[in-house]
Structure 1
């Protein structure tokens, strides 16, 4: 996978199981997130967002502003508690993880969410790979993403990983490229 394919988000989310790595310009990250979520909901998926980029409450407002019902999305949030949102607790629509560095907590939350929705056709959005690299070394991020993608493939589910365009070094880019079915440049 030498080059990210430039393609519309609408064309990439299908009814078949696949894992896509989306690259977008930093200022377009929220728009890419929103497009992927809307398309996944439209396709009938039960959407789970793993966020270490924006607090889940911010994403809920963003989705509502864009005409989506945030109740249709389940959140695994590793940034709110880390940023001092100590009053925020896990509930029926959120699992709060203490920090983006807590890969054990993220792994457990991910597995718990998959069990919770095991009867549904699931789509996982991981936002964002680039943010994880702020908190963790690249080798740990790749190992964690290998766990995520392998678990999705084992369960025959789909997902997307968001990253900032130009934000991955060539080695990490090729390692991540080997874990996904498609790489998309979302402009």
Structure 2
């Protein structure tokens, strides 16, 4: 796919790495969540990039029903420096580098959504590089892809094009079914 306006066909149980132009990451995120919901999936957004309250507002402005998106939010609590207001559709993680809690949250939400058509979107692998060494991200992404496969759940990992080192890109490419370059 050559531009951020091209529709993506998200197949059940398939895992994708979407490499987007850094200037188009926000647009790619909005478009992807809309497509996930339009395809009949429950959307779960793992965010290390923007706080879930901001994403909820952005998605609402784009015509996406805020009640159709669940969040695993690893940035809000860290950015606020305190516990955010409770939200039944959001699991807050204390820091983007806390992969253990993030992995537990993925497992718990998949258990809660069992039997439903689910797609998880991670926004973004590139932001995780600010907080974690490449090796840790690679191990975590390997865990998540296998967890999704075992559950038969679709997944999309968003990353800035040319924002990943070649080794990480190679590893991620072997974990996913399809790499999409926008």
For normalisation by structure 2, the TM-score amounts to: 0.94
Corresponding residue of 1:12: 9
Corresponding residue of 2:164: 168
CA RMSD of superposed structures (Å): 1.4
CA distance in 1, matches of 2:48, 2:84: 15
CA distance in 1, matches of 2:106, 2:163: 25
Cα distance, 1:9 vs structure 2: 4.7
For normalisation by structure 1, the TM-score amounts to: 0.92
- How many residues end up aligned between the 2 structures? 181
Equivalent position to 2:62, from 54, 60, 66: 66
Corresponding residue of 1:46: 42
Corresponding residue of 2:135: 139
SS in structure 1 opposite 2:8? helix
Cα distance, 1:174 vs structure 2: 0.6
Return 5+ residue gaps in structure 2 as ranges. none
Residue-by-residue CA offset, 1:41-89 (whole Å, 9 max, x unaligned): 0111011000000000110011011011111000000000111252414
Alignment of 1:1-187 (within 5 A): 6=2, 9-14=6-11, 16-84=12-80, 86-186=82-182
> Structure 1 residues 152, 117: closer, same or farther in 2, change over 3 A?
same
SS in structure 2 opposite 1:162? strand
